Amino acid sequence: MNTWKAVAAIAAAVWPGLVLACGGHGSAQTLIVSTEWLAAHLKDPNVVVLAVGSQADYDEGHIPGSVYVNYQEVAPKGTNGLSAELPPMPRLAELFGKMGVSTGSRVIVYRLNDTLTQAARVVVTLDAMGMGQSTSLLDGSMREWKGEGRTVSKEAPAVKPGTLEPCPQTDVIADLNFVSKNLKSADVRIVDARAPEFYQGTSSRPGLVPGHIAGATNVYFNSLFDGAGKLLPMPKLQAQFIAAGVKPGDVVVSYCFIGQQASALYVVSRYLGYDTRLYDGSWEEWTRHPGLPTAKAGQ
């Protein structure tokens, strides 16, 4: 019997309304969960909670039963020299399997501190593996969990290794060729997730030239969350995308410096229902090719 079909039947009984299948992506109903939801489902069968941040923060106190994610293994430096690239699927299956993730797990990713973009990158990675429909990002961080007086643990759980069969998705990661071919496509919108000063080219990171991909628009990832790190109401999110020229039915391609900040934009874009890609090489890769078009504010 197909493993995905078997676990889908179990998941449907445990989480009514959750559509679990190999492949597909999260939606407004599944991509974001509240601390209230997690507290109520923390001991549910097949729930795996992943903590993203520093080891020190994890050791200081984490959500009970949650497993620490070594982010550098999930988003390592690529063989092409780029700062953070998606590892091969067999390697990812091994990594997440060691964290207790199995085919059919309901995975909740949360941040221990101010690590929103890293947590979002973990969500995108699981989406690329075919786990998008059963993976969620916690709305808020460990700070909110503690502030609500919820139980905190310093004990690392004994993890039972999972058995994970990736179902690789071809519509999550965009490469340089896809982006360059779609710069002028009417139904593809390239969106820069960086702060406006980096998009405009008035500031730059050491080692990177200023500016943005020519034709790209800008939605700063941090403007999509409130001061507590919680997602803004959907109408306010949608308004920012519309202001950036994103139309219903558009394919959104998010990018940033190295593909990390763009992961937060990717998650929100999928949450809003857009067909979305993450340009993993991002500005770091784009600017390695002098012939590719770039622009600054006013150009």
pLDDT one-digit tens code per residue, 72-101: 999 999 888 899 999 999 999 999 999 999
Quick one: pLDDT at residue 20?
53
Tell me the torsion sign for CA atoms 170, 173, 179, 180.
negative
The fraction of the chain above a pLDDT of 90, given in percent, is: 86
Spatial distance between the Cα atoms of 241 and 234, rounded to a whole number of angstroms: 11
| Residue closest to 124 by CA, chosen among 175, 85, 165 | 85
Quick one: pLDDT at residue 289?
94
Rounded to an integer, the average pLDDT of 152-166 is 94
| Residue closest to 67 by CA, chosen among 43, 90, 101, 104 | 101
Per the CB < 8 A criterion, the answer to whether 227 and 233 are in contact is no
Structure token digits, residue 180: 């360059």
The string of pLDDT tens digits covering residues 218-268 is: 999 999 999 888 999 999 999 999 999 999 999 999 999 999 999 999 999
Rounded to an integer, the average pLDDT of 50-56 is 97
Spatial distance between the Cα atoms of 288 and 26, rounded to a whole number of angstroms: 33
- Answer whether residue 18 shows pLDDT above 70: no
Structure token digits, residue 290: 């002098």
Domains and CATH numbers, the chain: 3-147 (3.40.250.10), 173-295 (3.40.250.10)
Of 1-5, 45-49, 83-87, 131-135, the range with the lowest mean pLDDT is 1-5
Spatial distance between the Cα atoms of 203 and 194, rounded to a whole number of angstroms: 11
Q: Where does the pLDDT of residue 59 fall: very low under 50, low under 70, confident under 90, or very high at 90 and above?
A: very high
Per the CB < 8 A criterion, the answer to whether 51 and 66 are in contact is yes
Q: Where does the pLDDT of residue 299 fall: very low under 50, low under 70, confident under 90, or very high at 90 and above?
A: low
Spatial distance between the Cα atoms of 195 and 199, rounded to a whole number of angstroms: 6
Backbone angles phi, psi at 39, to 5 degrees: -60, -35
Place of tokens 């190295």: 258
Q: Where does the pLDDT of residue 16 fall: very low under 50, low under 70, confident under 90, or very high at 90 and above?
A: very low
Q: Longest Cα pair distance anywhere in the chain, in angstroms?
A: 59
Spatial distance between the Cα atoms of 267 and 120, rounded to a whole number of angstroms: 7
Burial-class residue 190 by CB neighbours within 10 Å (0-12, 13-18, 19+): buried
3-state SS assignment for residue 143: helix
Spatial distance between the Cα atoms of 226 and 10, rounded to a whole number of angstroms: 36
Rounded to an integer, the average pLDDT of 134-142 is 96
Q: Where does the pLDDT of residue 104 fall: very low under 50, low under 70, confident under 90, or very high at 90 and above?
A: confident
Identity of the amino acid at 54: S
- Answer whether residue 3 shows pLDDT above 50: no
- 127 to each of 54, 180, 232, 288, how far by Cα in Å? 23, 24, 22, 28
Structure token digits, residue 33: 């969960």
Q: Where does the pLDDT of residue 45 fall: very low under 50, low under 70, confident under 90, or very high at 90 and above?
A: confident
- Answer whether residue 288 shows pLDDT above 60: yes
